[in-house]
């Protein structure tokens, strides 16, 4: 016999289950967006400061990548040190020790910082990260809505 309330309860259970199961998939994709969280934080209140390249090292196993370290001082006297990768291509600038570079950082917490080239070149990582976080929030909302509706169905089933 067809029972519409049971069909609706099954639909709500499926909706809640699928949304909960999709959250780890979106979280994994957000995790793969390498500098997405840092860029998202910096975009809230960006500031620019000059830094100095302190060392440049070639990666022994990969000739097309160089690792460089940089440091910068904030106006209040704090010193921060960071490291980044540079892919050796003809279009990219070659860094040398003592060279000045531009650093983008979060104005309130300078510990969130990136070189300007990485900040500007990682737009896709930022978009993937923010899209996944928005999808996770939407799925949590849908799941909570479905669970609340399931509970109200269970309370109403006493009358049927």
Domain segments of the chain as ranges = 1-34+122-160, 39-118
35, 79, 94, 96: CA torsion to nearest 10: -150
Phi and psi angles of residue 21, each rounded to the nearest 5 degrees, phi first: -70, -25
Q: Is the pLDDT of residue 66 over 90?
A: no
pLDDT of residue 5: 81
Average pLDDT over residues 115-142: 94
* Tokens (6 digits) for 5: 């309330």
Which residue, among 111, 22, 43, has the nearest Cα to 30 in the 3D structure?
A: 22
Q: What's the whole-model pTM score?
A: 0.79
């Amino acid at each position: 016999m067809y029972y519409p309330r049971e069909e609706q309860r099954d639909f709500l259970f499926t909706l809640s289950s699928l949304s909960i199961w999709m959250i780890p998939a979106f979280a994994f994709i957000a995790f793969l967006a390498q500098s997405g969280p840092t860029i998202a934080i910096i975009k809230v209140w960006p500031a620019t400061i000059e830094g100095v390249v302190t060392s440049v090292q070639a990666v022994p196993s990969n000739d097309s990548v160089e690792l460089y370290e940089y440091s910068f001082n904030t106006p209040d006297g704090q010193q921060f040190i960071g490291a980044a990768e540079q892919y050796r291509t003809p279009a990219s600038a070659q860094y040398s020790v003592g060279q000045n570079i531009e650093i983008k950082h979060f104005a309130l917490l300078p510990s969130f910082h990136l070189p300007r080239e990485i900040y500007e070149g990682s737009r896709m990582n930022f978009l993937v990260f923010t899209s996944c976080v928005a999808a996770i929030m939407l799925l949590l909302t849908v799941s909570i809505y479905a669970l609340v509706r399931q509970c109200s169905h269970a309370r109403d089933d006493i009358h049927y």
